[in-house]
Amino acid sequence: MDKKRQNSRIEELGKDLLTTNFFTEGGSCAPKPKKSYSLLLGFLLVLILTLSAGIVSMWAASDATIPLSVEIPVSPPPAPTINFSSDKTDALPGDSAILTWSTSNAVSCAASTTFDALDWTGAVGLNDKKTVTLPSTDGIYNYTLNCANTSGTSSKAVAINVKAALCGNGVCETSRNENGFTCPMDCEAVSPQPISEKLENIFQEIKEISIGGPSVSPSVIKLSAKPGEKVKSSFTYINNGNSSKTISLVLRPFIPSDGETGSPVFIDKDNKAITSPLKDWIKLDKEEYTIDSGKSAIIGFAINVPNNAEIKKYYVAVIASDKNDEEGNGSAISTEMGVLVVLDVQKPILAIKYPWYFYAAIIALILIVIAWLILFKKAREEHKERKLKKKRKHV
C-alpha cells in the first residue's frame, strides 16, 4: 500500500514538472514556479543527505581508518675508517711495541690476532694507543683492529717482523741492534759512518742497545775534564724481561777502530785485551744490582782524573751482565749490555808552574805600589797648600 502511494506521488510530481508553463502569452521567458518544483528540489536534497549519512555511519561502524604513511629515505652512514700504526716494524723477541690508532664513523672497536696475545684482545677505545709485548719466537705477527657501525665492519692490521739477530752470519744487522760492541765478528769490518763531532766519531750512532728484553739509556756517555778534577755521571738499566734480574758491572777498555771513527774494539791485533788508565779512575757506586721485571735502576759512577793525566781521550765500556735461570731448569742465559764512556781530558786554562810564594811576592809588590801612589798624592796636596799659604803671606 505504501509502495503504491509512493509511486502515485512520484507520477504526480512528474506531471507537474511536464505541465509547468515557462512562457507567458507574450513569448517572454518568465517562469512561473509552482509548488511541485520546490518539492522535487527538496526531495533530491534529502536523498543526497541520507546517502551521505549512511555512508558515514557504515564507515564508523566498521572502524575504518584512513591509512597515512610517509616514507623518508635515510642514507646509511659511511663505513668506518681506521688509521693504525706501530712504532716498530722489526723487533727482537720479547721486545715491546706501541700500537696507535684513530678512527672515524666508528661505533665500537675490537682487537684481535691470529696468535695468543693476552695484551691485544677484546674491546678497545675508538682513539687510543697501547703497549704490547711481542712474542718470544721469530716470525711475522699481525695485530688487527676491527671497527664497526650500522653500515658494516672495517679492519686494518699492522705486521711486526720478530727476529733475533744472528751473530756470526757475516752480516751486521744494525736494525736488530748488532754493532761492533754486541757482535764484533759481523760488524768489525763495516765501514763507519762519519759523525760531525769528534767525540761521536768513535762509534756508529747507537740510540739504544737491547738484547732479549733489557736495555740501557743512554748508550754513550761523553764527558770532559781537566787534570785533578772529579766528574760524575750515570745511566739507566731497564729490565724489560718477565723475571727479576741480578746484574754485575765490570769495566772493559776499548779503542775506536780506524783512528777517530768506527766501532769499539776490545782486543788488539795481538789478541790481547785493550788497556786504559780510565779503568782505574772510575769508581762505581755499586757493582751489583737486582732489578725486578719491568723496573729500572740508575747506575752511577765517578771519575777522578789525576793531576798528571795525559791530555787526550780515554775510552771504557761499563758492562752490565746478568746470569739468570730463565726457564727454572738450571739452564742459565747470560746477557751483556754496555754503555760506552768517552772521557776527553783537556788542557787546563791556567797551569801553575811557580811556587805559591812567587805569586805572594807579586801581590805584595802591587800593594806597595798602591800605597806609594796614595802617599805621593797626599804629599803633593800638602805641598800645594803650603805654597798657597806662603803666597798669601807675601800679599
Q: Which helix (H) or strand (E) holds 59?
A: helix 35-61
In CATH terms, the fold of domain 174-345 is Immunoglobulin-like (2.60.40)
Q: What angle do CA 29, 31, 32 make, to 5 degrees?
A: 145
Please state the rounded mean pLDDT for residues 157-166: 86
Q: What is the spatial distance between Cα 167 and Cα 183, in angstroms, rounded to a whole number?
A: 6
Residue 191: pLDDT over 80: no
Question: Which pLDDT tens digit goes with each residue over 297-318?
Answer: 999 999 999 999 999 999 999 9
> Average pLDDT, whole number, for the chain?
76
Taking alpha carbons only, the member of 108, 153, 149 closest to residue 126 is 108
Cα dihedral 317, 320, 321, 322, rounded to 10, equals -170
Please state the rounded mean pLDDT for residues 341-356: 78
Does the domain formed by 81-162 have CATH 2.40.50.140? no
Note the pLDDT of residue 190.
43
> Do 174-345 and 81-162 fall under one CATH topology?
yes
* pTM over 0.75, yes/no: no
Q: What is the spatial distance between Cα 350 and Cα 311, in angstroms, rounded to a whole number?
A: 14
Q: Is the dihedral of CA 366, 367, 368, 369 positive or negative?
A: positive
- Taking the domains of the chain in order of start, what are their residue ranges? 81-162, 174-345, 356-388
Q: What is the spatial distance between Cα 357 and Cα 361, in angstroms, rounded to a whole number?
A: 6
Residue 157: pLDDT over 70: yes
Judged by average pLDDT, the poorest of 52-56, 123-127, 145-149 is: 52-56
Across 3-17, 132-146, 166-180, 201-215, which has the greatest mean pLDDT?
132-146
Q: Which residue in this structure is represented by grid cell 756470526?
A: 168
Q: What is the spatial distance between Cα 31 and Cα 24, in angstroms, rounded to a whole number?
A: 8
